[in-house]
């Protein structure tokens, strides 16, 4: 599938491009062995929404998402928010291999500009993908930028929970990144769509932020 709106894609360093291709190959090979089980509480697999969506899941569950996307939702197009760092460039290059564009930015670098680009993607009818505790954490803490984008656009949020039956956990990484082991089962839950009160401010804004965070962390996991 062609990358939509290529004019928003800035050139990536050659090193990032080949590392991205290598990562995409590894994801594809390992992904073929995974047993992905979907629990679709949103109804997205039965009926695609005509409106744009904001896909949300935790940073340490990132590995499985390209295969979930390719198998079940590849007709949706859009962009993923990635860090402007070198690691973010590799993620951007990897996602290009799966037909997904990227918006480069974080809370510390290009934050306002990245938010405006995300808003533009949604207004043009595309989906966006956000790992709301990335790129540096705290782990399982939903940053407020996601809520602001949802308020500005009225786009619905699609919370996605991903659990690996068996995985290697990289404890030294800030997010305790998880790499599913070959042939393991991957449980994916598409939670019901969520909307954000456009008028929420102050305490009510924090309540909306905490509500979405709780959906992604129903058991308050802190591992």
Domain boundaries, the chain: 13-216
Confirm if 98 and 69 have CB atoms less than 8 A apart: yes
Mean pLDDT of the chain: 91
- CA angle, corner 44, sides to 29 and 99, nearest 5? 40
- Averaged pLDDT for residues 101-107: 80
Q: Residue 12: its pLDDT value, please?
A: 86
Residue 87 has pLDDT above 50, yes or no: yes
**Cβ(158)–Cβ(190) under 8 Å?**
yes
The pLDDT confidence band at residue 2, using thresholds 50, 70 and 90, is: very low
What is the CATH topology of the domain spanning 13-216?
Glycerol-3-phosphate (1)-acyltransferase (3.40.1130)
Instruction: Provide the whole-model pTM.
Output: 0.91
Does residue 77 surpass a pLDDT of 70? Answer: yes
- pLDDT for 185 beyond 80: yes
Least Cα distance to 181 among 63, 58, 91 occurs for 63
Residue 2 is classified by DSSP as P
Phi, psi of 192 (to 5 degrees): -55, 150
Is 178 within 8 Å of 165 (Cβ atoms)? no
Q: What is the CA radius of gyration of the chain?
A: 16
What pLDDT is recorded for position 108?
61
User: Distances in Å between the alpha carbon of 8 and those of 4, 40, 98, 161, 214?
Assistant: 9, 32, 17, 29, 33
**Confidence category of residue 1, pLDDT binned at 50, 70, 90:** very low
């Amino acid at each position: 599938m062609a990358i939509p709106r290529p004019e928003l894609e800035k050139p990536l360093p050659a090193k990032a491009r080949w590392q991205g291709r290598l990562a995409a190959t590894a994801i594809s090979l390992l992904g073929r062995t995974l047993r992905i089980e979907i629990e679709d509480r949103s109804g997205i697999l039965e009926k695609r929404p005509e409106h744009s969506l904001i896909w949300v899941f935790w940073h340490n569950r990132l590995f499985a998402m390209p295969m979930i996307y390719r198998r079940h939702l590849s007709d949706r197009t859009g962009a993923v928010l990635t860090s402007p760092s070198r690691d973010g460039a590799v993620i951007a290059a990897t996602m290009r291999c799966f037909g997904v564009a990227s918006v480069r930015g974080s809370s510390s670098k290009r934050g306002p500009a990245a938010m405006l680009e995300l808003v533009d993607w949604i207004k043009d009818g595309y989906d966006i993908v956000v790992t709301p505790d990335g790129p540096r954490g705290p782990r399982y803490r939903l940053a407020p930028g996601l809520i602001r984008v949802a308020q500005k656009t009225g786009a619905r949020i699609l919370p996605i929970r991903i659990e690996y039956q068996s995985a290697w956990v990289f404890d030294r990484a800030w997010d305790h990144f998880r790499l599913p082991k070959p042939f393991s089962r991957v449980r994916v839950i598409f939670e019901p769509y969520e909307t954000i009160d456009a008028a929420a401010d102050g305490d009510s804004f924090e309540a909306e932020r905490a509500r979405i965070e709780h959906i992604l962390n129903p058991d308050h996991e802190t591992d």
